[in-house]
C-alpha cells in the first residue's frame, strides 16, 4: 500500500486541492499494464494527492463528531443518535461516495433503521440498530460503484488493504483543513478563516484547558465551570475519535485496488465433494438419532445419565447453533477455494450441498425445539428470545443456501438476498419489541409465583414496563421470588429517567412510562 505524503499535494499546482470528484479508474490503465508486464499486481493507493475533503464536507464532519460524542454520552438511545447517523450519511454524500442506486438504497435503510433508536430503550436493540446502521453506511461508502467482493483469498487481502488505508485518516483531515484554510476561492472572507481557526482550536483548548482546570482549584473557581471538569476532556477525546473514524471511512472508500483477475483454487472438485459427503453422512446420522428419539423413552435415557430434560435442552441448544454457524462458514470456504466442478462431479456436488443445507435446517429446528422446552421450564429471557430469533434467521439463510446449491445461482444473489434478509429481520425485531414479549410471556405462562423471577423482570428497560405495570400484583409480595413495593416503584422511576442533554437525549419509551407514586406500602 502506498500512502501519498502531504508534500505531493503542494507539488501539483494545476489542480484544485478541494476537488471531491470520484476517480476514473481508466486513468490508471497504463499503470495496470506496466504492473502486469512485470508480473506484479498494482499496489493499493489511499487517495489521489489532489483529493481533499471540501469545506462543506468538513462542516458536516464537525456535526458528525459533535453528535457522535453526545450520542455516546447519552447511551445511544436518544434523538441525537439519529442526528449523528443522518449527519454521517450527509458526510459520505459530500465526499462523493453515494453515486450508485445500491449505495443510496443502503443509506436509506440506515436512516430508516435509525428512526427506531429513540423509540426503543432496550440495550440489545439500541446496540443492534446502531451497529447495523453504521455498517450499512460503511458498506455503501466502501462498495459504492464496485461489485460485491467475491469470496476468495485475493479479495480478502484486497479488503484488508483498503481497510489499512483508513489509518491515513489524520493525514487526510489535516490536509483538508489546511487546504480549506489556505484557499481563498472557497470563502474569500477573513471572518470565515477566523471561524475555521476557532474550530481547529476547539479540541486542543478543551483538552488542555480541562487538564489545567483539574490541576488548579483557583483557576477552576475563577472561570466558574459547573460539573465535572474531567467530562470536558472526555468530550474532546470522543469528538476527536468520532471525527477520525468518519474520516477513515472516507479513506477506505477512496482507496483503489486492482481488479481480481481470477479465483485461485486450492481444493479439487473431487476433494470438495468428499468433504461435503462426509458432512452429509454425519448430519444424516444426527437426523436418524432424532427420529429414533421420537419413539424412544428419552426421559428414561436421560435419567440413567443423571441429566434432566431441561438441562438436556439447554446444553444442546448452543452446541447445535454452533454447528449450524460453522457449517455455513465451511460451505462458503469450500466455494471460495474449491475448484469449479464439471459433469458428474458437479451434479453430485449440487446434490450433496443441497442435502447438507436441508439437514442443517433440521439441526436448527431441533435446537429451537430444545430451547422452547427450556423456556417452558424456566421462563423467557432476552438472551433466550434473541437466541431463538437468531436460530430462525439462520434457518432461513440455509433455506436460501439450499436453493442456491440446487439451482446453481451465483453467490452475488445469495449474498445480497441474505444481507437484505438480515436487515429486514432487524426491522421486524424492532417492531416486535422483544422485552415486552419477554415480560408478557413470563407474566402469562408462569404456572406459580414461585417460578416467577420478579427481580429479573423489574430489571428490564422501559420497553417492558408498560406491561409490568398492568400486573403489579404478580410482582409484589412477601415471597423470596417477588419484590417489595419500594423496589418496584424505584425501578420504574429509574427506567423512566431521561438520559439528559435535553431534546438530544430524549427517548420515547422512557417519556411514555407513567410510574405509580413512590409511597411505601
In this prediction the pTM is 0.77
pLDDT for 417 equals 86
CA dihedral 475, 481, 484, 488 (to 10 degrees): -50
- Each residue's pLDDT tens digit, 298-332: 566 666 666 666 666 666 678 888 899 899 888 88
List Cα–Cα distances, 6 to 21, 52, 168, in angstroms: 19, 11, 11
Residues 6+ apart with CB under 8 A from 152: 260, 263, 264, 336, 337
DSSP 323-351: HHHHHHHHHHHHHHHBPPP-HHHHHHHHH
Which among 251, 208, 236 is positioned nearest to 66, based on CA atoms?
236
If pLDDT is split at 50, 70 and 90, which confidence band does 498 have?
A: confident
Among 354, 344, 340, smallest CA distance to 405 is for 354
Q: Residue 476 and residue 495: Cα distance in Å, rounded? A: 18
- Distances 106 to 100, 148, 410 between C-alpha atoms, Å: 10, 13, 21
Q: How many angstroms separate the CA atoms of 398 and 360, rounded?
A: 7
Q: How far apart are CA 428 and CA 412, in angstroms?
A: 24
For 135-144, write each residue's pLDDT tens digit.
Answer: 999 999 988 8
Is residue 33 classed as helix, strand or coil in its secondary structure? helix
Start-to-end C-alpha separation, the chain: 69
**Phi, psi torsion values for 46, nearest 5 degrees:** -75, -60
Contacts of 100 (CB under 8 A, 6+ apart): 144, 145
**Which residues on adjacent β-strands are paired with residue 45?**
2, 256
Strands (E), 46-188: none
Residue 231: predicted pLDDT = 75
What percent of the chain stands above pLDDT 70?
70
Amino acid at each position: 500500500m502506498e500512502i501519498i505524503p502531504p508534500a505531493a499535494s503542494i507539488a501539483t499546482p494545476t489542480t484544485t486541492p478541494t476537488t471531491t470528484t470520484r476517480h476514473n479508474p481508466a486513468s490508471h490503465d497504463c499503470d495496470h499494464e506496466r504492473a502486469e508486464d512485470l508480473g506484479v499486481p498494482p499496489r493499493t493507493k489511499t487517495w489521489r494527492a489532489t483529493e481533499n475533503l471540501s469545506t462543506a464536507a468538513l462542516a458536516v464532519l464537525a456535526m458528525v463528531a459533535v453528535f457522535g460524542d453526545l450520542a455516546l454520552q447519552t447511551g445511544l438511545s436518544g434523538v441525537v443518535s439519529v442526528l449523528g447517523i443522518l449527519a454521517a450519511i450527509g458526510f459520505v454524500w459530500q465526499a462523493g461516495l453515494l453515486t450508485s442506486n445500491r449505495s443510496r438504497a443502503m443509506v436509506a435503510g440506515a436512516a430508516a433503521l435509525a428512526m427506531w433508536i429513540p423509540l426503543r430503550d432496550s440495550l440489545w436493540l439500541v446496540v443492534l440498530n446502531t451497529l447495523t446502521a453504521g455498517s450499512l453506511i460503511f458498506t455503501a461508502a466502501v462498495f459504492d460503484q464496485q461489485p460485491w467482493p467475491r469470496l476468495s483469498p485475493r479479495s480478502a487481502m484486497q479488503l484488508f488493504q483498503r481497510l489499512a488505508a483508513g489509518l491515513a485518516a489524520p493525514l487526510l483531515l489535516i490536509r483538508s483543513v489546511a487546504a480549506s484554510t489556505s484557499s481563498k476561492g472557497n470563502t474569500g472572507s477573513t471572518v470565515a478563516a477566523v471561524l475555521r481557526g476557532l474550530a481547529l482550536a476547539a479540541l486542543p483548548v478543551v483538552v488542555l484547558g480541562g487538564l489545567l482546570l483539574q490541576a488548579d482549584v483557583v483557576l477552576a473557581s475563577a472561570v466558574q465551570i459547573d460539573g465535572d471538569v474531567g467530562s470536558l476532556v472526555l468530550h474532546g477525546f470522543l469528538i476527536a475519535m468520532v471525527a477520525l473514524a468518519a474520516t477513515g471511512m472516507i479513506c477506505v472508500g477512496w482507496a483503489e485496488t486492482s481488479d481480481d483477475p481470477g479465483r485461485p483454487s486450492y481444493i479439487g472438485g473431487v476433494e470438495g465433494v468428499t468433504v461435503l459427503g462426509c458432512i452429509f453422512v454425519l448430519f444424516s446420522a444426527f437426523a436418524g438419532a432424532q427420529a429414533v428419539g421420537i419413539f424412544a423413552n428419552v426421559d428414561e435415557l436421560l435419567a440413567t445419565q443423571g441429566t434432566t430434560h431441561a438441562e438436556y435442552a439447554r446444553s444442546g441448544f448452543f452446541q447445535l447453533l454452533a454447528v449450524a454457524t460453522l457449517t455455513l462458514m465451511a460451505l462458503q470456504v469450500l466455494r471460495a477455494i474449491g475448484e469449479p466442478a464439471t459433469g458428474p462431479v458437479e451434479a453430485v456436488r449440487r446434490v450433496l450441498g443441497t442435502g447438507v443445507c436441508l439437514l442443517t435446517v433440521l439441526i436448527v429446528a431441533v435446537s429451537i425445539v430444545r430451547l422452547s422446552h427450556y423456556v417452558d421450564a424456566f421462563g423467557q429471557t432476552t438472551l433466550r428470545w434473541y437466541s431463538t430469533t437468531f436460530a430462525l434467521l439462520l434457518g432461513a439463510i440455509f433455506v436460501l443456501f439450499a436453493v442456491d446449491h440446487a439451482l446453481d445461482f451465483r453467490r452475488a444473489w445469495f449474498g445480497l438476498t441474505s444481507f437484505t434478509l438480515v436487515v429486514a429481520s432487524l426491522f421486524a425485531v424492532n417492531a416486535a419489541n422483544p422485552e415486552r414479549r419477554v415480560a408478557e410471556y413470563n407474566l402469562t405462562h408462569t404456572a406459580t409465583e414461585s417460578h416467577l423471577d420478579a427481580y429479573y423482570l423489574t430489571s428490564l428497560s422501559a420497553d417492558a414496563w408498560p406491561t409490568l405495570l398492568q400486573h403489579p400484583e404478580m410482582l409484589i409480595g412477601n415471597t423470596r421470588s417477588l419484590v417489595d413495593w419500594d423496589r418496584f416503584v424505584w425501578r420504574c422511576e429509574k427506567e423512566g429517567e431521561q438520559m439528559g442533554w435535553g431534546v438530544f437525549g430524549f427517548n420515547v419509551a422512557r417519556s411514555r412510562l407513567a410510574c405509580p407514586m413512590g409511597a411505601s406500602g
